[in-house]
Amino acid sequence: MSQTKVAITIEEGLLARVDALVRRNVFSNRSRAIQEAVQEKLERLERNRLAEECAKLDPIFERSLAEEGMSEETASWPKY
């Protein structure tokens, strides 16, 4: 994947915490630390959005759809 260089503004205290992680070899450099933090945050936001959308579903209706589909499908299954 290609990378693009960007400039950011970050609070001094936050940068000090990032630098401490780099010194402890948790991350190879500042860029890697910030890139992984952004990636993790984006993934968390996407999971939250999915959870919010799932919460809108009606469990009774969804179950009835699943059972309806299963009853039709199981009729074609071989007998044991």
DSSP secondary structure string, 1-31? -----------HHHHHHHHHHHHTTSSSSHH
Instruction: Report yes or no on 2 lying in a domain.
Output: no
Number of structural domains the chain divides into: 1
In a domain, 70, yes or no: yes
Residue 4 inside a domain? The answer is no
* 27, 39 Cβ separation under 8 angstroms: no
pLDDT of amino acid 1: 77
Residue 52 falls within a domain, yes or no? Answer: yes
Asked if residues 64 and 53 have their Cβ atoms less than 8 Å apart, the reply is no
Torsion of CA 26, 30, 32, 38, to 10 degrees: 110
In a domain? residue 79: no
CA-to-CA dists, residue 64 to 38, 72, 80, angstroms: 40, 12, 26
Provide the domain limits for residue 68: 12-74
pTM of the model: 0.60
Tell me if 3 is assigned to some domain.
no
| Residue 1 lies inside a defined structural domain of this protein | no
Q: pLDDT tens digits, residue range 30-56?
A: 999 999 999 999 998 888 887 777 778
